[in-house]
Amino acid sequence: MARYGYVPFMLLGLNGAGIAIAAAGAPKYWLLVVLAVAIATAFLVERIIPYDPEWNHDRADGTRDRIHVAVNETLILASVAAIPLLAAIVPAPQLWPHSWPFVAQVLAAILVADFGITVVHLASHKIGVLWRFHAVHHSITRFYGLNGLMKHPLHQTVEMAAGVAPLILIGLPVDVASALALSVAIQLLLQHSNADYRIGPAKYVLALNEGHRFHHLKWAGIGDVNFGLFTLVWDHLMRTYSYDPARRFDSTQLGMAAKPDYPSSYLRQMVYPFTAGGGCTLKSTATPGDAPGLAPHPASKYRC
């Protein structure tokens, strides 16, 4: 049940509950209740069907990751709360499809946000100043649910702005934005999950953990794949999709090969991107032998 039912429960069940709550105009704290259920479910399933049992053990990073989650989830909620203020300052044209069924409005918002976030994610692997801050996320050496929000808050802000700003400019309603915020949190839990779940052929379309593990390979070029948050559609179109069904992952393949001593405490991770060392090469150039089945990207080198 866990192996085949976890993803439908999260994607359809809990997202569906969030959409119903938002559509009914219920108090927003009910969405936080749904999020709490999602987090509890993620931890439970990771222990029932772990991909790597070792990844369930704290490596003196659990408290740090919870701080990342608290800070970045607060930023997401604050951005939703700020929408009425932004609409008052910059009146939006009446382009939002208010006449559509509420669930269709949420799905449209997810697809637009997915494109914006994917583009910034790709740029963060190519542009030095963005990589400085995105590198915090790539310093992980174990893969589990809370990793999804282990990000520098400045990078989190840039990513979310790219995904949500176009929606706000065409009149995104607060209730749709609330359902979208919950969907982002649930997706990040699934995408970085340590659960060995099954989704069948959907793994080629949905940006879940089977494909996203390849993104966290520690060699430059090898990990420059599968950038999507919700879907892999944009990766297929941008030719950044990669998948090898025979590959197994462990901690020796995650992180950043050229920066194995990247700071691990929360405060040092906040400061490090502003230092000279934070801008240096953080991944080593890969060879096909480093990561069997994957060829290095021809233009993937990070320099100081």
The region that residue 214 occupies, defined by phi over 0 for left and psi between -120 and 50 for alpha, beta otherwise, is alpha
pLDDT computed for residue 262 by the predictor: 94
pLDDT of residue 259: 87
Tokens of 24: 């009914």
Joined tokens for residue 39:
């987090």
What pLDDT, on a 0 to 100 scale, did the predictor assign at position 222? 66
> Tens-of-pLDDT digits for all 304 residues of the chain?
999 999 999 999 999 999 999 999 999 999 999 999 999 999 999 999 999 999 999 999 999 999 999 999 999 988 888 887 776 676 767 789 999 999 999 999 999 999 999 999 999 999 999 999 999 999 999 999 999 999 999 999 999 999 998 998 889 999 999 999 999 999 999 999 999 999 999 999 999 999 999 999 998 666 789 999 999 999 999 999 999 999 999 999 999 988 889 999 999 999 999 998 886 554 444 444 444 444 444 334 444 3
Cα dihedral 203, 32, 140, 290 in deg (nearest 10): 10
- Cβ neighbours for 127, distance < 8 A, ≥ 6 positions apart: none
175 Cβ neighbours under 8 A, 6+ residues apart: 22, 23, 25, 102
Rounded distance, CA 19 to CA 180, Å? 9
Query: Against a cut of 0.85, is the pTM above it?
Result: yes
The token duo for 145 is 């649910």
| pLDDT for position 280 | 53
pLDDT at 64: 96
DSSP symbols for the chain: -HHHHHHHIIIIIIHHHHHHHHHTT--THHHHHHHHHHHHHHHHHHHHSBSSGGGGS--S-HHHHHHHHHHHHHHHHHHHHTHHHHHHHSPPPS-S-TTS-HHHHHHHHHHHHHHHHHHHHHHHTTSHHHHHHHTTGGG-SS--GGGGG-S-HHHHHHHHHHHHHHHHHTT--HHHHHHHHHHHHHHHHHHT--B----GGGGGTB--HHHHHHHTBSEETTT-----SSBSHHHHHHT-----TT----GGGBS-TT-TT---SHHHHHHGGGSSGGGS--SEEP-TTTSTT-PPPTT-----
Predicted pLDDT of residue 84: 76
